[in-house]
Amino acid sequence: MTDLFTLEAEVRTDLGKGASRRLRHANKVPAILYGEGQEPVSLTLEHKNVFRAQQEEAFYSHVLTLNVAGKPVECLIKDMQRHPFKNIVMHMDFIRIDANHALHANVPVHFINEENVSKAGATIAHHVTEIAVTCLPKDLPEFIEVDLADLEVGQTLHLSDVTLPKGVTSDELEKGESHDQAVVTANAPKGNSDDDSEEATEEAPAAE
């Protein structure tokens, strides 16, 4: 999978909508690279390489390497535009990173051991699919694992309950306790409460 995180890029000087349209017809993807106080650079990438890489979840939270005119540049993908109904990547935005500077990224969440809660009859409600974090590039995780093995029916896990990797902090929690978002809830099964059973008994007609 490592090769998916390294993409060859060419610097392009022919700009504008018409130029981008011609690139797409030639199976190329127009892109831009910016950040770290440097001037933005317009780029061109091979569509087949981009399309293969973007199918991997880790592509969106992994430090990527763009070989720009033979010079490697570490970056993150910040935006990707896709065709509304064709399997075509229309445009990509990359942001440069510095190994010594903290970065902000959205990291996907993987929920494990859900079957333990489901066996108890609960319905799992996922409130988030990714967590915004800050860390150095070397500490950026491909995903954050949330273990539901001990989650009880009716219980909600919040951001403060999630164990983040060393060197990684939650952007929301840094704003204060009021930003301790719900992550996942084990909802009790409907119609199975004791109150429902008692109510049904009271409403049942007496036998003659």
155 pLDDT band, cuts 50/70/90, is very high
**Amino acid 96: pLDDT:** 95
Q: Are 124 and 114 in contact (CB under 8 A)?
A: yes
> What's the pTM?
0.78
The CATH H-level (homologous superfamily) assignment of domain 2-96 is Ribosomal Protein L25; Chain P (2.40.240.10)
Per-residue pLDDT at 94 exceeds 90: yes
Q: Spell out a b/e string for 87-121, using b for 16 or more CB atoms within 10 Å of the CB, else e.
A: eebbebbbbbbeeeeebebebbbebeebeebeeee
Per-residue pLDDT at 194 exceeds 60: no
**Amino acid 192: pLDDT:** 54
How far apart CA 56 and CA 173 sit, in angstroms, is 28
**Amino acid 67: pLDDT:** 94
Across the chain, what does the average pLDDT equal? 86
Per-residue pLDDT at 204 exceeds 60: no
191 pLDDT band, cuts 50/70/90, is low
Model pLDDT for residues 98-147, shown as the tens digit of each residue: 999 999 999 999 999 998 787 777 889 999 999 999 999 999 999 999 99
Question: Number of C-alpha atoms within 13 angstroms, CB side, residue 120?
Answer: 18
- Where along the chain do its domains lie? 2-96, 103-187
Helix (H, G, I), strand (E, B) or coil at 76: strand
CATH code for the part of the protein at 103-187: 2.170.120.20
Per-residue pLDDT at 182 exceeds 70: yes
